[in-house]
């Protein structure tokens, strides 16, 4: 019996070692598989669980990471890495109070741990900021940020040599070209023109319903792009290989324009400018990262404060609340950032009636639209992310049949080839941030259809070089996933 236990231990250790090797190579899914095999051999080893939690963090499976790290702590209440992993998972889910408790536990177990002390202070600071914002928002909840912006009083200095909007404030082709060139040199847009663009985009988005119907013109193509996540130079590459928007080349960017990549400021201004230039040919939908809580953690808030102002960030957040939640193309293709619902019988009219002018709630239709993911099994299950749910092929089929649709296009998940076809061809994921976060090695993709042929065609592409600014350079809490 002792020999069998010894052999089991050695086999489990071998899987752990292999998992560690995969992790170092940034092959996180392979690492997860190896750690899982080690856990199957020895489910009471806290190290195996903490290692898998770390790999889950890298793949954004925060719900799973939370479960594994909690189990590791259960097995070994003095295991510091278990607390670190759980704190990181809670940070990713914007649960700062829970993270603070774990960092405080680490400081009790290891009083000389400087990292835990620093993270505790950062958590406390963020909690105070959130409480302050909530307090002033409650006092002045009906006031628009626009009321505090007085464009006529903002002077453009003679020293400013960047792109300028014409006197009527309308975005032109020349302005867009100048803006892109200026951004390539990593220079910020003057705040007067920045405010003008956001204000006009806000007005435009506010005029849409939460669900927008789009018809494709004859002899035109309709392109759907997934997450761009602040990868400005890859965004420009999309237009270089696939053409800029126009009457015969329509685009829908399917959410998650900002965060993670450190050029989110440039991405969002180019996208908003394109929307103002081509309102009938260019569309944007809201993703789960077009939200206050995600921006606070994943970089956009810090980036806008660095390149713009605090007031500009507030205006962005107000504008994000105006973005439509979903589109129906040619009455047959349902486009949404995340996925489907925790309940049956949802109609397109139900989606149209959602009050989207708010931060997403933690449950309900709006949350599901922004956060959910498909799974291969029938039915529904809790999400690996800790928010939203997993939905199966039967859920997809029922929703499509109920609403007389052909298939779903969604984004929200990195895919090795830039896209994935699931649920018998009825649920397609498209992701357009190649080499996501400079480490995943994935391709990006564009999905294209025409009015007379709604069968999806795909164009894939690889990443292009960008200036030496690391992803998440403006991220709150620093390197939380390296703990």
At 468-479, the pLDDT tens digits run 999 999 986 655
- This prediction has a pTM of 0.93
Contacts of 422-429 with CB under 8 Å at 24 or more apart are 422/374, 422/376, 422/393, 423/374, 423/392, 423/393, 423/396, 423/397, 424/393, 424/397, 426/393, 426/396, 426/397, 426/400, 427/339, 427/374, 427/393, 427/396, 428/456, 429/226, 429/374
Fold assignment, 151-482: Purple Acid Phosphatase; chain A, domain 2 (3.60.21)
List alpha helices for 353-452, DSSP H.
365-371, 393-403
Token code pair at residue 248: 């015969």
Q: Is 14 left (phi over 0), alpha (psi -120 to 50) or beta?
A: alpha
* Residue owning tokens 């890495």: 81
For the segment 125-161, what is each residue's pLDDT rounded down to a tens digit? 888 888 876 665 544 556 789 999 999 999 999 999 9
CA-to-CA distance for 9 and 5, rounded, in angstroms?
6
Question: 3-class SS at 398?
Answer: helix
The distance between the two most distant Cα atoms of the chain, rounded to a whole number of Å, is 85
**CATH architecture of the domain with range 2-136:** Alpha Horseshoe (1.25)
CATH 3.60.21.10, the chain: domain bounds: 151-482
- Structure confidence at residue 7 (pLDDT): 87
Asked about 289 being catalytic, the answer comes back as yes
- Give the DSSP letter of residue 443: P
Point out the catalytic residue in the list 237, 289, 337, 463: 289
Q: Give the pLDDT of the chain (483 residues) as one tens digit per residue.
A: 455 778 888 999 999 999 999 999 989 999 999 999 999 999 999 999 999 999 999 999 999 999 999 999 999 999 999 999 999 999 889 899 999 999 999 999 999 999 899 889 989 988 888 887 666 554 455 678 999 999 999 999 999 999 999 999 999 999 999 999 999 999 999 999 999 999 999 999 999 999 999 999 999 999 999 999 999 999 999 999 999 999 999 999 999 999 999 999 999 999 999 999 999 999 999 999 999 999 999 999 999 999 999 999 999 999 999 999 999 999 999 999 999 999 999 999 999 999 999 999 999 999 999 999 999 999 999 999 999 999 999 999 999 999 999 999 999 999 999 999 999 999 999 999 999 999 899 999 999 999 999 999 999 999 999 999 999 999 866 555 444
> Tens digits of per-residue pLDDT, 331-381?
999 999 999 999 999 999 999 999 999 999 999 999 999 999 999 999 999
Q: Where in the chain is the domain with CATH 1.25.40.10?
A: 2-136
- Tokens of residue 256, six digits: 């998650």
- Rounded CA-CA distance 4/152 in Å is 80
């Amino acid at each position: 019996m002792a020999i069998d236990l010894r052999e089991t231990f050695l086999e489990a250790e071998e899987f752990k070692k292999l998992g560690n090797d995969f992790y170092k190579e940034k092959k996180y899914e392979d690492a997860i598989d190896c750690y899982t095999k080690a856990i199957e051999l020895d489910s009471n080893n806290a190290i195996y669980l903490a290692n898998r939690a770390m790999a889950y963090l890298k793949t954004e499976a925060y719900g799973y990471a939370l479960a594994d790290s909690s189990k590791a702590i259960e097995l070994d209440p003095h295991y510091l890495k278990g607390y670190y992993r759980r704190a990181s998972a809670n940070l990713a889910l914007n649960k700062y109070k829970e993270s603070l408790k774990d960092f405080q536990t680490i400081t009790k177990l290891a009083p000389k741990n400087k990292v835990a002390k620093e993270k505790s202070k950062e958590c406390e600071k963020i909690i105070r900021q959130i409480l302050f914002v909530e307090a002033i928002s409650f006092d002045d909840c009906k006031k628009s940020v626009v009321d505090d912006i007085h464009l006529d009083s903002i002077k453009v200095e003679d020293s400013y040599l960047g792109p300028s909007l014409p006197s009527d404030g309308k975005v032109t082709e020349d302005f867009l070209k100048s803006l892109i060139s200026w951004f390539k040199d990593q220079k910020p847009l003057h705040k007067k023109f920045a405010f003008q663009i956001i204000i006009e985009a806000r007005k435009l988005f506010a005029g849409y319903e939460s669900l927008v119907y789009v018809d494709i013109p004859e002899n035109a193509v309709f392109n759907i792009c997934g997450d761009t996540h602040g990868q400005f130079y890859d965004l420009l590459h999309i237009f270089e290989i696939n053409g800029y928007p126009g009457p015969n080349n329509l685009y829908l960017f399917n959410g998650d324009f900002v965060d993670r990549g450190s050029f989110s400021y440039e991405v969002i201004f180019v996208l908003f400018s394109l929307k103002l230039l081509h309102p009938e040919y260019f569309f944007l939908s809201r993703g789960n990262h077009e939200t206050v809580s995600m921006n606070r953690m994943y970089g956009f808030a810090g980036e806008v404060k660095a390149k713009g102002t605090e007031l500009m960030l507030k205006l962005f957040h107000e504008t994000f609340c105006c973005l439509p939640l979903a589109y129906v193309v040619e009455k047959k293709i349902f486009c949404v950032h995340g996925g489907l619902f925790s309940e049956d019988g949802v109609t397109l009219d139900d989606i149209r009636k959602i009050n989207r002018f708010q931060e997403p709630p933690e449950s309900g239709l709006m949350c599901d639209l922004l956060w959910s993911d498909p799974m291969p099994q029938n039915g529904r299950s809790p999400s690996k992310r800790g928010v939203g749910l997993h939905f199966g092929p039967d859920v997809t089929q029922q929703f499509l049949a109920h609403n007389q649709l052909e298939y779903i296009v969604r984004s929200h998940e990195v895919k090795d080839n830039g896209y994935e076809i699931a649920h018998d061809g009825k649920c397609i994921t498209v992701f357009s941030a190649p080499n996501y976060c400079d480490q995943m090695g994935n391709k990006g993709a564009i999905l294209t259809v025409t009015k007379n042929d709604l069968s999806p065609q795909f164009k894939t592409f690889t990443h292009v070089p960008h200036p030496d600014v690391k992803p998440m350079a403006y991220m709150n809490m620093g390197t939380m996933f390296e703990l």
